[in-house]
Amino acid sequence: MRKNGAEILIDALIRENVDIIFGYPGGQAIPIFNVLYDTKEIKVVLTRHEQGAAHAAEGYARATGKVGVCLATSGPGATNLVTGIADAYLDSTPLVAITGQVATPYLGTDAFQEVDIVGITRPVTKHNILVKNIKDFPFLIKEAFYIARTGRPGPVLIDIPADISKGFLDDYEYPAEISLRSYRPTTVGHVKQIEKAAALIKTAARPLVFAGGGVISADAHQELFELATKLNAPVTLSLMGLGAFPGEHPLFIGMPGMHGSKTANSALQEADVIISVGVRFDDRVTGHVGAFAPKAKIIHLDIDPATISKIVRVDIPVVGDAKNIVAALVKIVAPRPADAWNDVVNKWKGDTLFAYKNSDKIIKPQFVIEQIYELTKDKDAIITTEVGQTQMWCMQYYKYARPRTCISSGGLGTMGFGLPAAMGASLGRPGALVIDIAGDGSIQMNIQELATISINKIPVKVAIINNEYLGMVRQWQDMFWNKRRSSTCLRGGTLCVECTGSGHCKKPYVPDFVRLAESYDIPGLRATKASEVVPVLQEGLNKEGPVVMEFMVAPEENVYPIVPVGKSLDQAMEEL
């Protein structure tokens, strides 16, 4: 069938089951948007910034497991996507980013709004493609989706010059199948390796399950649950893995690492066999690598062979899809009754994994998150977060019961992620109660998306935990940089001569988030006292449609425990 490039693209997207695109038009993308104008099968969400589009596509992908799609024009449109693409790369999120490009005769001429986006994104994409011949175009779209969603998922960028999107192909046909000689991800685990893993587990006196985002990508949470419960092994989940095992389960011991629970960190340091599934031993998890898990033999199940022994030397690697490997392992491992090891872990755990000193006057940020959990634990809730202190408290005090309910920027740590991601999650899972728990710093990095939320009536609840600082950096400055709060106070700015650091600054905080929300025609609520937290949450969470809630919290609260950079997991600092 005769179609032009833009028509081919949209037809292919429909065939790839794309039902939503987050995008922003511009000169070289007009041909594509022109076709979208008549396309009923695909909803187009016009964001207010291309970065918002990329994070929204990520949020959609993380909430649904489908490939997220974002679309931007050439030049600045494309470069504005880069942070979102890099974020998706670090968190193995399936994403197809589509960019318009100047027509092929102008490539490399520094034409208006031309950048080499394929060159720019090469290190932060799983793969990327510049379309140079319309004949190849259908195959390349198929390839992009295939690569994005299979193996270890990741972002793929397709750069489409305007003469391709406007040019015609006479005999368009979308390929039904694809096979790449250079890309064949291993999915089935090696039987011998699985048997070796089972044999090692049998010898374990202090087994520990350490799982991550790979379990969620592979939809292997049920298998993981069976494995952990059959072995009575304590379970720790990396930030990316939260939700892969029920947060209230007695075997769950919280997130490990820099701001992880003492129980999880102690268990990693004391375990003799660690069954790690879909994790990559990020430095925020391991602390000082040389002193990580010194007593353990490590089994590592992962779909990406390059993660095996990249950071931590692995004793038994099994490469493949977590779902079928864990299922195979469950079948052959011997059941293990709870024993003294479980008693030890339970004793570490005590009543609670994380603790803070609450106040009946000033609002403690941890208290807000606990209350959000209490009010939403029986609902189909999805939490997205921004980055920094608030993000860490969300990992500590919200107990995720199901996969795809904790959506946070793990690897890249992208401020401004949470609001657009919440938007994408909400559109992907229309029935869910989606809450962006934000810091006052991060939220301002993509605050413009309140317009997208308002206009499209996306029922996202935004909880701004306002501590008036770039809190995590302020905490590091206080703890490790002699309290030199350079450029971290959001009241004062770079440096106030009169600042005593006592938290009694009289400068007004801008913006007024309540009035800001109202200017976007979104209801705004504020709590300034501890007693107001629950009423504000009840009112806000029960409102139809989007709402912004602001909580004026203790400005100088720190995240504990904290394992300082370069220290081992047993050297955590706790609140005095």
Work out how close the CB of 298 gets to other proteins at its nearest, in angstroms, rounded to a whole number: 16
- Count of residues making up the chain: 576
> What is d(CA 362, CA 369) in angstroms, rounded to the nearest whole number?
15
Strand partners, 316: 299
* Nearer to other proteins (CB atom), residue 86 or residue 490: 86
* Nearer to other proteins (CB atom), residue 129 or residue 445: 129
* Nearer to other proteins (CB atom), residue 182 or residue 494: 182
* Nearer to other proteins (CB atom), residue 140 or residue 401: 140
Cis peptide bond upstream of 561, omega within 30: yes
Q: What are phi and psi of 447, to 5 degrees?
A: -60, -25
Instruction: Return the closest-CA partner of residue 88 out of 152, 178, 32.
Output: 152
Locus of tokens 């990396």: 238
Work out how close the CB of 225 gets to other proteins at its nearest, in angstroms, rounded to a whole number: 30
H or E stretch including 98?
strand 95-101
Work out how close the CB of 508 gets to other proteins at its nearest, in angstroms, rounded to a whole number: 45
122's CB contacts (< 8 A; 6+ apart) are 128
Structure-derived torsion over alpha carbons of residues 282, 258, 209, 216, reported in degrees to the nearest 10: -60
DSSP per-residue letters across 41-86: SSEEEE-SSHHHHHHHHHHHHHHHSSPEEEEE-STHHHHHHHHHHH
* Nearer to other proteins (CB atom), residue 63 or residue 303: 303
Strand ranges for 189-234 from DSSP E = 207-211
Can you state the angle between helices 418-428 and 50-64, rounded to 10 degrees?
50
Work out how close the CB of 374 gets to other proteins at its nearest, in angstroms, rounded to a whole number: 43
Work out how close the CB of 129 gets to other proteins at its nearest, in angstroms, rounded to a whole number: 9
Work out how close the CB of 248 gets to other proteins at its nearest, in angstroms, rounded to a whole number: 37
* Nearer to other proteins (CB atom), residue 175 or residue 305: 305
Work out how close the CB of 105 gets to other proteins at its nearest, in angstroms, rounded to a whole number: 16
* Nearer to other proteins (CB atom), residue 126 or residue 323: 126
> What is d(CA 290, CA 308) in angstroms, rounded to the nearest whole number?
16
Work out how close the CB of 443 gets to other proteins at its nearest, in angstroms, rounded to a whole number: 32
> Which residue ranges make up the site for other proteins (CB under 8 A)?
118-119, 122-123, 126-127, 130, 147, 180-183, 304-306, 308-310
> What is d(CA 66, CA 519) in angstroms, rounded to the nearest whole number?
34
Instruction: Return the closest-CA partner of residue 568 out of 355, 290, 302, 165.
Output: 290
* Nearer to other proteins (CB atom), residue 152 or residue 526: 152
